[in-house]
Each structure stands twice: as C-alpha cells, then as structure tokens.
Amino acid sequence: MVPIIQLIHKELSKIYQSLSATKKLHALIIKTQLSSDPFYATQMVRIYAIHGDLCSARNVFDEGSIRSVYLWNSIIRAHAQAHQFYDAFSLFRKMLETDISPDNFTYACVIRACSERFDMHGLKLCHAGSIVSGLKSDSICGSSLVTAYSKLGLVEEASKVFYGIREPDLVMWNSMISAYGNSGFWDKSLELFSNMQNSGTKPDGYALVGLLLGLSDSTSMYIGQGVHGFCLKTSFDSNAHVGSALVTMYSRCKSMSYAYKVFSGISQPDLVTWSALLTGYSQSGEREKALLFFKKLVLVGKKPDPVLSASVLAAAAQMANVKVGSEIHGYVLRQGLESDVMVCSALIDMYSKSGFLGLGIRVFDIMPEKNIVSYNSLILGFGLHGLASHAFQMFEEILENRLVPDESTFSALLCACGHAGLVEDGKFLFRRMKEEFGIQARTEHYVHLVKLLGMNGKLEEAYYLIQSLPEPIEHGIWGALLSCCDACGNFELAEVAAERLIESNTKRASYKVMLSNMYAGDGRWDDARKVRESMREGKVRKMPGVSWI
DNA sequence: TGAAGCGCGG
C-alpha cells in the first residue's frame, strides 16, 4: 500500500480525536483525490457525525462521490441519530428514487427513527417497504421492527414479526424479551427466555435486563428473586446494566434492603446504578436515605449528571423542605447544570411542592429551553396552589408553542380542577384528552376525575363512572371513591367501595383503616372491630419461595 | 476496507 494511504488508514482508526484532526484528515483525503471513493466518503460522514458536525458530513455526501449503499446509510443514520428526522426521511425518499436499493441496515435505521418520533404511519410504511425488498426474514430489520412496535405500544405487532422469523438470533430473542418486559408481560418474557435457552441460544445481559424490566411491583418479586439467582449463578450480577436493573427491580418492589444488597455487591457502581438506588429510596418514602446517598456519591468524587440531580431534587420535593431543596439547587448551580431542562423541571416541582411557587415560576421563566415536562411541572404547581386558571393558561401556551400535551399534562390539569372544584371544566378536559388528543385515560386520570366528582357532591356520578370501566379496576380508583365517601360521610357507598377493595385483595392497609375509622367515628364499634380483625388475619402472609428458572 | 439491530436511571 502507498505510504500516504497507510497514513490515512492509521488516522481513520483514531476517529475519536478532535474535530480539527478530522478536518485535517479530510483535507488529506481530498488532496490525494480519494474523496470520490465511496469508502473514504462513508468514513468521513461517519466521523463527522460522531463529532456532531452534520454540516460537514452532509457536504461530504453532497460533493461528488459515487453513492454506494454504505454512503447512503451513513448519511441517513447521521441525521437520524441527531434526531433530524426530516432530513433523514427526505434522504431516504431520495434514495428510493435512485438505482441503489435500501438494504436491511437502511430499513433498521429508518424504522428506529419512526419509533423515536412516534410515527406509526411511517413505521407501517417502512415495514411494508422492507417486506417488498425481501427482508421479511431478516433479523437485523426484524429486531428493529420488534423494538419499534413495542415502543409504540403494539406488542402484538412486535410478536407477529418475531414469530415470523424461523431461527431468531440472540438480538432477536432479546428484542422480543424486552418488548414483553417493557409492556409488563413478565410471564411472556419469562416463557421466551426459557424457549431461548431450549433452542440453544445462550442468554446474555440484554436478555436478563429485558426480563427484569417487566417485574415492577411486589407481587412479582419472587420471580425477580429467581432471575437474581440466575444472575448470581451465571455471574451476570457483576454486569453494570444487569446490576442496575436488579437494583431498579428491587426498588420497584419496595424492597430496599435487597436493592442495597445488590448495590453494595457492585464493585464500581456508575451514575445509573447510584441513581437507581437513590430513586428507589426516594420513591419508597425513605427520602433521608436518598439524600444521604447523594452526599455519599458526591464524597466519593462522582459528578452527578442531570438525571441524577433531578432524582435527588424529587426526593427533596417529597420532603417539602425548601432548605434541603435550595441547597441542592446551589449544588446544581456550581455544577453548571442550571440550564438543563430536566434539572429545571425538577427544580420547579421541588419549589412548588415546598410552598415556594414563585421561585418555581422564576426557574421556569429563565430556563433557556422549555419542553412538555417543564410545562407539566409548572401546571402541577399552579394546580397544587389552587391557581387553576393559570394552569389552563399554561395549557394554552403549550398549544400555541406547538408542543404536544401528554398524559402527565392532563393529569396535572385534572388535579388542578380538583383543587379548584372545577367539575365541568374537568369533565370537558377529560373528554378532550380522549377525543382531541387521542390519549387513553390511565388510572391516575380516573383517580383525579373520581376525586373531582366525589369531593364536589357528585358521589353517585363518580360511582357510575367507575362502574362503567372494564375490569380489573385498579384499587386506587376505588380508593379514591372511598376517601371521598369518608370526607362526605357516605357509609353506604363507602361499604361498596371497601368491599371492592377487599375483593381485589390489595394488601394496602390504609383502606381498611379508613373504613374502620369511619365506623368508629359513627359509633359502630362492632363493624370497626370486624374490619380491624380482618386486618390482623390478613397480615400473616409468607412470600413463597419459587424458582422459575 | 466499510455500516448495524437489543439494555438500566427522570
């Protein structure tokens, strides 16, 4: 090989060097007249994209090289990875007009882009296109389809793609296991995990993380323990991602002692693992511990990132202690994270929940970039302070700024209606959410709506609303009705709600306490005693030890 | 001499 080409290849392997080194290399390639060779053009596009210089990448693509499928793929990917979806898709369309056909890599890239911009229509088109191109049984294309469908909530479609492939490879198995896990079907992902092993494919860390993802409450913790056992046997517990997923799994199952045990067994926990533990403590009510671990992580020299800062701020928000929260605010400022949109949203939430809505508004006003999360935080803040009209003004602003309201936006607005007693506005908003914005109501929305009705003298309407829902009805919804009955002193309905809660076999004691207190308050001591006794009986429950693997 | 599909924390 000519020495200069050798030099270029040596430089190409050092791609993580600076942008200026990349530009020098580019100049060298132009000088040696290699820039029309699609290999070198592809390499330059890739390297410029790594350095975030999309303009130079695009110039390389536009300037005269022969366009191989590699070159097309590299420029489409560069735009897609930078979330410049418009450019990515217009290039893809241009490519379809040329003699070069897209291959499995091209489709994998545009399919992923569709899921990232929640473009169901585009996804179906790309899926169809890949079939026409003869990629129906391709596993690279297939696994990206499985992931994309499951990200858009269509697990059924994902499984159709999966079962259409005769011999799934490792990534294909993992994609489907994660798809089921992400959708909460842990039983199906477990079944697949076992099928995968029977077919002779050895699981890796991805499979285990996918499996652990679906285990999200204490009812499935014994499964999680089984998976944990498997991780120990196969030494996957020392894998950083598996370790974090285990910490998260135990945290979600409200079993912080296990979560901590796993955490302390990881030799070098990264920020994600720390954050999983910290969020676990914060969400299971042990806020002081969350703050303590935040201090510890700063002490061992870790530099919190925006996500971790946001989760410690959430712990402070729960404490409703502005002193703690503003200390963390100071820390965030010193770390230079004050313009991060996630951190700012957490600050808004913390200040408003600590009673300092004005400070939250100030953070909102000066933040350089606002997204739907920051609007949601402020709307919730206005709602909590009884300022429903301000909350609705913010909603208008969201629409004016062409942002898309999400589930949390409506949840916050319904909560605002509840605090201000705006029954008709709340009902209207609930309808708009479904009809105009196509958002399916979730438990939290029903809880807000039931409370809004129940607390404003419309207990029966709330009851009929719950009656109209398909089974199984989340216990939180009946719980909301029960607390309204408690507040209004309606025993008749309270008993119905309590009965349904007991039927649903929820372990939460607070409902029974509420009912028992209601009876006691009315002097119905026998009834109160019966409820108390049933609590004592129900309490003795042992976690069955089962290994599913 | 080339690219790529799957993972944890808000």
DSSP code string of A99-159: SSPP-HHHHHHHHHHHHHTT-HHHHHHHHHHHHHTT-TT-HHHHHHHHHHHHHTT-HHHHH
The integer distance in angstroms from the CA atom of A531 to the C1' atom of B7 is 45
The integer distance in angstroms from the CA atom of A106 to the C1' atom of B4 is 9
Please list the pLDDT of chain A residue by residue as tens digits (549 residues).
567 777 787 777 766 667 888 888 888 888 888 888 888 899 889 888 888 889 999 999 998 778 999 999 999 999 999 989 999 999 999 999 998 999 999 999 999 999 998 889 999 999 999 999 999 989 999 999 999 999 998 999 999 999 998 889 999 999 999 999 999 899 999 999 999 999 999 999 999 999 998 898 888 888 999 999 999 999 898 888 999 999 999 999 989 999 999 999 888 899 999 999 999 999 888 999 999 999 999 999 889 999 999 999 999 999 888 999 999 999 999 999 988 999 999 999 999 999 999 999 999 999 988 999 999 999 999 999 999 999 999 999 999 998 889 999 999 999 999 998 898 999 999 999 999 998 888 889 999 999 998 888 888 888 888 888 888 878 888 888 888 888 877 777 887 788 778 777 665 666 777 777 777 777 778 777 777 777 666 553 333 443 433
Which nucleotide is nearest, taking the CA of residue A69 and each C1'? B3
Q: So what's the pLDDT on residue A539?
A: 54
Closest residue (Cα, C1') to B5: A140
- The letter for the amino acid at A295 is K
| Helical residues (DSSP H) of A284-340, grouped into ranges | 287-299, 306-319, 322-334
Cis previous bond, A168, omega within 30: no
**With contact defined as beta carbons under 8 Å apart, do A377 and A405 qualify?**
no
Q: How many distinct helices (H) and strands (E) make up chain A?
A: 32, 0
DSSP states of A388-411 as a string? HHHHHHHHHHHHHTT----HHHHH
The integer distance in angstroms from the CA atom of A511 to the C1' atom of B8 is 34
The kind and range of the H/E element at A7 are helix A3-12
Which nucleotide is nearest, taking the CA of residue A248 and each C1'? B8
The integer distance in angstroms from the CA atom of A223 to the C1' atom of B8 is 18
Closest residue (Cα, C1') to B10: A307
Q: So what's the pLDDT on residue A292?
A: 93
Which nucleotide is nearest, taking the CA of residue A311 and each C1'? B10
For strand B, give the nucleotides within 7 A of a protein CB: 1-10
**With contact defined as beta carbons under 8 Å apart, do A102 and A96 qualify?**
yes
The candidate with the shortest Cα–Cα distance to A73, out of A36, A46, A35, is: A46
- The letter for the amino acid at A240 is A
- The letter for the amino acid at A239 is N
Closest residue (Cα, C1') to B3: A70
The integer distance in angstroms from the CA atom of A475 to the C1' atom of B9 is 28
Q: So what's the pLDDT on residue A486?
A: 81
The integer distance in angstroms from the CA atom of A279 to the C1' atom of B10 is 9
Closest residue (Cα, C1') to B7: A206
Q: Nearest 10 degrees: CA dihedral of A448, A452, A455, A457?
A: -140
The integer distance in angstroms from the CA atom of A77 to the C1' atom of B5 is 13
Which nucleotide is nearest, taking the CA of residue A41 and each C1'? B2
**The token pair that represents A173 in the structure block:** 């198995």
The integer distance in angstroms from the CA atom of A39 to the C1' atom of B1 is 7
**With contact defined as beta carbons under 8 Å apart, do A29 and A39 qualify?**
no
Residue A132 burial (C-beta neighbours within 10 Å; 0-12, 13-18, 19+): exposed
The kind and range of the H/E element at A513 are helix A509-521
Estimate the crossing angle of helix A407-420 against helix A372-384, to 10 degrees. 10
Which nucleotide is nearest, taking the CA of residue A151 and each C1'? B6
Q: So what's the pLDDT on residue A547?
A: 41
The integer distance in angstroms from the CA atom of A16 to the C1' atom of B6 is 24
Q: Which residue has the tokens 């090289």?
A: A65
Sequence-distant contacts of A325-333: CB under 8 A, at least 24 apart? A325/A350, A325/A351, A325/A354, A328/A294, A331/A298
C-alpha–C-alpha distance, residues A77 and A74, integer Å: 5
Report the greatest alpha carbon distance in chain A: 98
Which nucleotide is nearest, taking the CA of residue A168 and each C1'? B5
A546 backbone dihedrals φ, ψ, rounded to 5°: -130, 140
